[in-house]
Structure 1
Amino acid sequence: MSQPVSPLPDRGPTGRRAKGTLDPATAKRVERPAPLRQVVYDALAELIINRTLEPGQHLVEADLAEYLGVSRQPVREALQRLQSEGWVDLRPAQGAFVHMPTDEEADQLLSVRTVLEAHSARLAADRAGGEDVERLWELQKTGLEALAADDTEGLVAANAALHAFITELSGNAVLAEMIGMVDRRVRWYYTPIARPRSHDAWQEHEDLIKAIAAGDPVAAERIMNQHTERTRQAFHERPKED
């Protein structure tokens, strides 16, 4: 018999929540008046992306509805949408499960990300002004603070924010839209390697910001290319999930 998502946290000797559990004490109840089905979808997608709900985990409608403080209907609708977008697998007579990404899926997406973001960095170096560079250093500081605090969620969020701002600086709306399409999936793949990659990644970010500040598009493109390729390689070298 499948085991439901635990409504209570299992904590180890460090006092931290064990993987794959939903802690009611930290639950973020969905808010209205946004369309409920959209809010529930966003909430479940985020739980998958940050790996509170882990790849391969059984998703029980009743437990998810209780956690989010909603009825089962919007949860069912959200799971169907998540299935259509590749986040969830719906198995006949078994139920819903978080999709288990393959190495091939990750490799394809992270390779595309390298091409898009390298071009984004090149454009950003041509366009960034003094205030833009100051903002990049602020985002870098946020990431280093998360690194010092051993805060994985903070590292993932800070990494996404810095890359998103570089995309914004590119000034290319089509490029930004394309990068936005892969951003959530990149965060999903990045979460399990955020800590082992952290020291090198944030040093690479520093080098990248310096190139952008210097107005050197060739160096910015090269550094971003190397940075994203190393992230792709780190994903393949990560300890495999059970």
Structure 2
Amino acid sequence: MAEDLRHKLGAQHLPLRDQVLAALRTAIIDGDYRPGERLTEDRLAEDFGVSRNPVREALRVAEAEGFVVILPRRGAVVASPSSGTIGDMFAVRERLEALAARLAAERATAADVAGLRALLDEGRAATERQDLRRVAELNSALHLRILQISGNPWLSSIAKALYLHVQWVFRLGAAERAPHSWAEHIQLVDAIESGDGERAERAALAHLDAASAAAYENAEGGYGAH
């Protein structure tokens, strides 16, 4: 992993702190760094091929974003999404995604639906081959695409930061959750294709109910089973 990270960082034209922050986020979201895992500045500097200064700055931002906790005398550890954090996330998702599904059903073109079907096919294939990292990416991609299809730019703009955490929480429980999630996604896309806004909203809420129950269960289990 370290060689890949160093190569990626060296090729970018962003401030080094921002490059480290993006790489750190990705490593946490993808499960390379697990909840509760200690992240020393020396270790991250070696993993990313940089000095400790941009690592220290990136850790501060990652802490503010909720991906890292910095503890006295212990340093930084990967955060564990709490039931409170999950509750807050799903409270927002229920508002955003129910509205987006309703609007998408009313506004989706045939090409939009075809794009959603393509994402469903990719998600099914990734689930079958147990590529959980890709499954988590596609889960977020599908929901973000529905937000775009809704035609309301505010929905998409306020969802960008949220979906980093959505992808992270999904990835932590993907081993058990993925097959159920993609079956629910099919129901959601079918509802959007029908053009029935109320049906699409119900499908979105049913999906979120199941997703939140799985996320709470995973949090209570301490993320140790995956």
Do they superpose with TM above 0.5? Answer: yes
1:209, CA displacement in angstroms? 1.1
Distance between the aligned counterparts of 1:25 and 1:159, measured in 2?
A: 28
Is this contact kept in 1: 2:100–2:155, CA < 8 A? yes
Residue 165 of structure 2 is aligned to residue 146 of structure 1: no
Q: What's the CA shift for 1:84?
A: 2.0
2:46 aligns with: 66
Which residue of structure 2 aligns with residue 4 of structure 1? none
Match of 2:59 among 58, 79, 85: 79
SS in 2 for 1:171: coil
1:125 aligns with 2:108: no
Letter in 1 for 2:66: G
Mapped partners of 2:64, 2:205: distance in 1: 31
Post-superposition shift, 1:27? 4.0
Equivalents in 2 of 1:167, 1:28: separation in Å? Answer: 34
The structure where helix makes up a greater share of residues is: 2
Contact 1:111 1:229 in 2 (8 A): no
Q: What's the CA shift for 1:241? A: 3.1
Amino acid at match of 1:240: G
Number of the residue aligned with 2:184? 204
**Match of residue 75, structure 2, among 82, 95, 109:** 95
Counterparts in 2 of 1:24 and 1:42: CA distance versus 1, 3 Å: closer
1:8 corresponds in structure 2 to none
Alpha-carbon separation, structure 2, partners of 1:73 and 1:25: 20
Q: Deviations over 1:113-144 (max 9, x none)?
A: 12211111111111110111110111001101
Give the structure 1 partner of residue 223 of structure 2.
241
Shift of 1:41: 0.6
Please tell me the root mean square deviation across aligned C-alpha atoms, in Å: 1.5
TM-score for both structures, normalised by structure 2: 0.91
Partner of 1:186: 166
Per the alignment, residue 137 of structure 1 pairs with 117
- C-alpha distance after superposition, 1:74-114 (max 9, x if no partner): 11110011122222112222211112221121112122212
> By how many angstroms is 1:184 displaced?
0.9
Deviation string 1:194-222 (CA, Å, 9 cap, x unpaired) is 22122221111111111111211111110
On the 8 A contact 1:111/1:232 being kept in 2, the answer is: no
| Alignment partner of 1:24 is 2:6 | no
Question: Residue 201 of structure 2 aligns with which residue?
Answer: 221
Q: In the alignment, is the contact (CA less than 8 A) between 2:25 and 2:62 conserved in 1?
A: yes
- Aligned equivalents of 2:118, 2:223: Cα separation in 1: 34
TM-score by length of 1: 0.86
Return the alpha-carbon distance in structure 1 between the equivalents of residues 159 and 122 of structure 2.
22
Aligned residues with identical type, % of pairs? 36
Q: Does the 8 Å CA contact 2:173/2:223 hold for their aligned counterparts?
A: no
Unmatched 5+ stretches in structure 2: none
